Amino acid sequence: MTLLSVRNLRAYYQTEAYGISRTVQAVDGISFDLFPNEIYGVAGESSCGKTTLIKVISGNIKHPLKVLEGSVIYNFNGYQVDMLQISEDELRRNVRWKQISYVMQGSMSVLNPVRKVIKTFEDIVRTHEGITDKKKFLEQTRAHINRLGLPTDVLNAYPHQLSGGMRQRVAIALATVFQPALIIADEPTTALDVVVQRGVLHMIKDIQAMSKNTVLLVTHDMAVHANVTDRMMIMYAGRIAEEAPTESIFNAPLHPYTQHLINSLPMIGEKTTRTSLGGSPPNLANPPGGCRFHPRCPHVMDECRTVVPDLVTVKERHRVACHLFKEDSV
Amino acid sequence: MSTSEKLLDVQHVTVKFHIGGLLGGTFLTAVNDVSFSLESNKPEIFTLAGESGSGKTTLSRVLLRDLEPTAGRVLFEGRDVSTIRKRSEFIEFMKKVQPVFQNPFETFSPLRRVEAYLFDTANNFKMASNDRDAARVVDDALRNVGLSLDEVRQRYPHELSGGQIQRVSVARALISQPRLILADEPVSMVDASLRMEIVNLFRKLRDEKGVSVLYITHDLATAYYISDRIAIMLRGYIVEMGPVEDVLERPAHPYTQLLKESVPEPAPQKRETWARHIELGATEVKEYGRIGCKFAGRCPKVMDICREADPPNVQVGQQMVKCYLYSERGEKAAAEAQP
């Protein structure tokens, strides 16, 4: 059973001003599935379309972002939701926060600085479920906070009184009040120190293990993926370059871009020279034809310049979009 | 060894900031009794590593003479930089010590062509007498970073990639032919596939141009990759310092041990150590104001004496470690604690 299935999704930013129109092909033909009880990683460099992909699958499609084609279908234990058709009202009442929640990068901008943390919990619960019994709400919130291993004191603190790591963990606690089926975490630890990052990621892993739901973890940090995710995709210029279980991505990467990415990671205890890819990530307003990686690829062939490679399954659960690989050729 | 053989000699530098109202308030010691030096005849990459709020950037401001230390002094080529008063001497100092900053898109104005900065630098430091000379100087500097004047001419910052623009800012720093480059988080804003080109560039500058680099970062993996020596900072103190292999492969200070263990390794088969649970503080711990070792509140090996006075600097092998675990007094205290 799949939790989410995305098929051939194309989402572009289209702007028009003074007669000049501009299209940014941020998500260009992406298909993938999410299953219950897994941590799925999305990796890629800045402006490769990671955040746009999340915007679409979480139902935040606002001008100038436009979905041109494709489908985004959820199945929450029999409750089917077509994200591209659902009304804003139903999305707010039944899906957002209850089934899908979103942890953002800057926890400071999520928590209201002039309200105590408990009040923020109250706001969210009131909006999505309504509070009839204040005492019961307080009890449940305390129980929830304790289950996640946070001290109850944080509820009565203002955000500025908490450390950065604790604020981020409060944001995660807020996102999980209704035990959603899918937690989307967009760069949840990017601005944090390594020790704090470790604590926050442990919490995400613990929550997932406890409630057996799905976590979609988006980060550019490959080392985080290596330690947290079960499966992952590598995005390059709006498309999936490779998707596989995390161990295969690191131990047997197939796509030349993935291979380069893995080989260029510095490690403590390793001083051999790491090289950088030539060129730079393409501009998505005017991407190169064929395979978008071809101008930087060390194995480039003629067909790469003109034909877009399909994402083919080369091994069990291992898909790659590269002309070097044909279906079941490995 | 006399001080004149040192390129940079930082002696017991302390910086205190006043926090609070006009009357009263408290002091925050951002840099606390920091000493280290770089040799003059042996170019090296020296890393200052630490988490946010450890005093790395404050220290770099002192070294750039942007901030006066509250106590201690900084000698550059044997001269106390605080005695530099004349403008001509200051220009001479700036020529030899050049900064590279974190975010190249903020360093350059988006409304100005990048080459304008390069020509300004060449003219301000009188590296060239006319425009043609300046073009040659600028082109030379750009060639050192794998670019050329033709590639950047007429371009605005947004027309270059993150890696390219950061290389331009290194090239700008090279124009005056400095002896020391201060690079404050130079790769944290650069994409992974381009990061190594900047990092390798610093290596090349050390090996081929004899430029020393003071690399300031929170990223221990790139620090290990490029540096010769490293100093780990915690709340204003250097808690451990030594050759990078020793410090990061066999960390002696409990804080360095925790830091190293918390760096996720890009290897899924080695998840266990990283996955071991740790305690995080709920509120911003007031580690600055703490008496004794700043790490005492989080240290798994804490002893009573750690909370009483600053730990001494102890030499352990090649490393300098600021910890009671390795001092005689600490050993005595540990022995008394276990009858």
Three-state SS string across A62-107, please? CCCEEEEEEEEEEEECCEEEECCCCCHHHHHHHHECCCEEEECCCH
Q: Do B274 and A224 touch (CB under 8 A)?
A: no
Q: Do A268 and B224 touch (CB under 8 A)?
A: yes
Co-location of B219 and B336 in the same domain: no
As a whole number of angstroms, the distance between CA B282 and CA B259 comes to 19
Q: Do A260 and B248 touch (CB under 8 A)?
A: no
DSSP class of residue B306 equals G
Point out the residue among A45, A250, A280 whose CB comes nearest to the CB of B266.
A250
Task: Spell out which residues of chain A touch residue B274, defining contact as CB-CB under 8 Å.
Answer: 198, 227
* Average pLDDT, consecutive stretches of 10 residues, N- to C-terminus, chain A (330 residues): 95 88 92 96 89 93 92 94 93 92 78 92 90 93 90 90 86 92 91 87 93 94 94 96 96 94 89 82 89 94 94 93 78
Pair B316, B333: CB distance under 8 Å: no
Helix axes A194-211, A164-175, angle to 10 degrees: 20
pLDDT on residue A134: 93
> Touching check for B126 and chain A: CB below 8 Å?
no
Pair B231, B220: CB distance under 8 Å: no
At B32-90, the pLDDT tens digits run 999 999 999 999 999 999 888 888 989 999 999 999 999 999 999 999 999 998 999 99
Sign of CA dihedral A104, A107, A113, A115: positive
Please give the ipTM for the structure prediction.
0.85
Take residue B79 and report the two structure tokens written for it: 């001269």
- Helices and strands: H and E segment counts in chain B: 13, 12
Please state, rounded to an integer, the average pLDDT across all residues of chain A: 91
As a whole number of angstroms, the distance between CA A278 and CA A116 comes to 50
Q: ∠ at Cα A244 (A242, A249), nearest 5°?
A: 80
Element (H, E) at B219: none
Pair B206, B183: CB distance under 8 Å: no
Task: Spell out which residues of chain A touch residue B295, defining contact as CB-CB under 8 Å.
Answer: none
Co-location of B203 and B294 in the same domain: no
> Touching check for A216 and chain B: CB below 8 Å?
no
Task: Spell out which residues of chain A touch residue B288, defining contact as CB-CB under 8 Å.
Answer: none
Scan residues 95-124 of A and list those with Cβ closer than 8 Å to B.
none
Co-location of B228 and B315 in the same domain: no
At A123-141, the pLDDT tens digits run 999 988 888 999 999 999 9
pLDDT on residue A279: 76
Chain A contact probe: residue of B284, B285, B288, B298 with most A CBs at under 10 A:
B284
Co-location of B227 and B264 in the same domain: no
Q: Which domain holds residue B304?
A: 251-278+290-339
pLDDT on residue B283: 58
> Touching check for B249 and chain A: CB below 8 Å?
yes
Ramachandran region, residue A151 (left: φ > 0; alpha: ψ -120 to 50; beta: rest): beta
Contacts with B46 (C-beta within 8 Å, 6 or more apart), sequence order: B36, B38, B212, B213, B214, B215, B227, B228, B229, B230, B231
Q: Do A163 and B284 touch (CB under 8 A)?
A: yes
> Touching check for B258 and chain A: CB below 8 Å?
yes
Co-location of B229 and B334 in the same domain: no
> Touching check for B272 and chain A: CB below 8 Å?
no
* Number of compact structural domains in chain B: 2
As a whole number of angstroms, the distance between CA A27 and CA A6 comes to 12
Point out the residue among A196, A221, A280 whose CB comes nearest to the CB of B163.
A280
Q: Do A268 and B263 touch (CB under 8 A)?
A: yes
Point out the residue among A194, A251, A266 whose CB comes nearest to the CB of B222.
A266
**Gap from B244 CA to chain A (nearest CA, Å):** 10
> Residue B99: which of B127, B61, B125 has the closest Cα?
B61
Residue B60 lies in a domain: yes
pLDDT on residue B285: 57
Residue B147 lies in a domain: yes
Q: Do A163 and B280 touch (CB under 8 A)?
A: yes
Co-location of B98 and B151 in the same domain: yes
Task: Spell out which residues of chain A touch residue B256, defining contact as CB-CB under 8 Å.
Answer: none
Co-location of B315 and B173 in the same domain: no
Q: ∠ at Cα B108 (B102, B113), nearest 5°?
A: 150
Q: Using CB atoms within 10 Å of the CB of residue A327, give its burial: 0 to 12 exposed, 13 to 18 middle, 19+ buried.
A: exposed
**Distances in whole angstroms, Cα of residue B164 to Cα of each of B157, B159, B323:** 9, 10, 42
Co-location of B245 and B255 in the same domain: no
As a whole number of angstroms, the distance between CA A62 and CA B301 comes to 53
At A18-33, the pLDDT tens digits run 888 889 999 999 999 9
As a whole number of angstroms, the distance between CA B172 and CA B125 comes to 12
Q: ∠ at Cα A47 (A43, A52), nearest 5°?
A: 80
DSSP B167-186: HHHHHHHHTT--SEEEEEST
Contacts with B120 (C-beta within 8 Å, 6 or more apart), sequence order: none
Co-location of B200 and B261 in the same domain: no
Chain A contact probe: residue of B196, B245, B273, B298 with most A CBs at under 10 A:
B196
Task: Spell out which residues of chain B touch residue A162, defining contact as CB-CB under 8 Å.
Answer: 282-284
Residue B196 lies in a domain: yes
Ramachandran region, residue A249 (left: φ > 0; alpha: ψ -120 to 50; beta: rest): alpha
Q: Which residue of B has its CA nearest to A247?
A: B268
Residue B75 lies in a domain: no
Q: Do A161 and B283 touch (CB under 8 A)?
A: yes
Kind of pairing between the strands at B180-184 and B212-217: parallel
Co-location of B230 and B263 in the same domain: no
| B163: CATH | 3.40.50.300
Take residue A191 and report the two structure tokens written for it: 């601005």
As a whole number of angstroms, the distance between CA A161 and CA A51 comes to 30
Contacts with B82 (C-beta within 8 Å, 6 or more apart), sequence order: B65, B68, B69, B73, B74
Co-location of B300 and B243 in the same domain: no
> Touching check for B199 and chain A: CB below 8 Å?
yes
* Average pLDDT, consecutive stretches of 10 residues, N- to C-terminus, chain B (339 residues): 75 89 79 94 94 88 92 94 92 94 87 93 91 92 89 88 86 94 88 82 93 94 94 94 96 94 90 84 65 88 90 93 88 68
Residue B35 lies in a domain: no
**Distances in whole angstroms, Cα of residue A299 to Cα of each of A45, A292, B78:** 21, 13, 53
pLDDT on residue A330: 47
Residue B7 lies in a domain: no
Contacts with A261 (C-beta within 8 Å, 6 or more apart), sequence order: A43, A222, A234, A253, B192, B193
Helix axes B192-204, A256-263, angle to 10 degrees: 40
Co-location of B241 and B103 in the same domain: yes
Residue B27 lies in a domain: no
Residue B176 lies in a domain: yes
- Whether the link from the prior residue into A64 is cis, omega within 30° of 0, is yes
* Residue where one domain finishes, among candidates B200, B234, B249: B249
